[in-house]
Structure 1
Amino acid sequence: MQIKVTDQAAQWFKQELDLNEGDYIRFFVRYGGSGPFHEGFSLGMNKEEPMDPAVIVNKDGCQYFIEERDVWFFNEHDLLVDYDEKSDGPIYRYD
């Protein structure tokens, strides 16, 4: 499993969450909404430091990660984090 963050998405995170070099963004499973693999669960994100990361990637000095306990949600797919101009926010795709 991998995390891929586009340049546009990384820029959005830096601006909207006031990220500095060395900051962390966690992608996590939350109850509610709808995901591509599990009805009633969706993906959330938060600015926080890792405790038990399963996967972590550095993009422009910031670290994006998924904790081991949330890996099940991705159903063995990679996570692509992109930017959506219409919603002016991140969009998640699963490869």
Structure 2
Amino acid sequence: MNITLTDKALEWFKDEMLLKKGDFVRFYVRYGGSSPIQEGFSLGVNKEEPMEVGVSHEQDGVIYFVEERDTWYFDKYDLFVDYDEKTDGPSYEYK
């Protein structure tokens, strides 16, 4: 599994989460919501330090990651994060 973020998504995360070099952003599994790959679950995001990194991606000094215990959610998919102008927030694709 890989994590990829577009430049617009990176800008949104930096502005909204007040990110600076050395920060961590976790993508995590939430019960409820909707997802094209896992029925009954959805993806959440939070600024927090990792406990046991399963997958990570560093860009501009910020580490974006998924905990080992949440990797099942992606079921061999890569996570592609973009910015959605309509919702003024991140959009997630699973490739």
Matched, 1:34 2:34: yes
> Which has the larger share of strand?
1
The alpha carbon displacement at 1:39 in A equals 1.4
The alpha carbon displacement at 1:41 in A equals 0.4
Q: Structure 1: any 5+ residue segments left out of the alignment?
A: none
The alpha carbon displacement at 1:84 in A equals 0.5
Q: How many residues align?
A: 95
1:4 counterpart residue number? 4
* 1:1-95 paired onto structure 2 within 5 Å: 1-95=1-95
The alpha carbon displacement at 1:85 in A equals 0.7
Shift >4 Å, 4+ stretches: none
Distance in 1, matches of 2:38 and 2:8, equals 27
Distance in 1, matches of 2:88 and 2:43, equals 17
RMSD between aligned residues? 0.6
SS of residue matched to 2:32: strand
Q: Deviations over 1:6-47 (max 9, x none)?
A: 111010000001011110000000011011122110000000
Q: Deviations over 1:45-75 (max 9, x none)?
A: 0000111111111111111000010011111
Distance in 1, matches of 2:6 and 2:61, equals 13
SS of residue matched to 1:39: coil
Give the letter for the 2:10 counterpart: A
Q: What TM-score do the two structures reach when normalised by structure 1?
A: 0.97
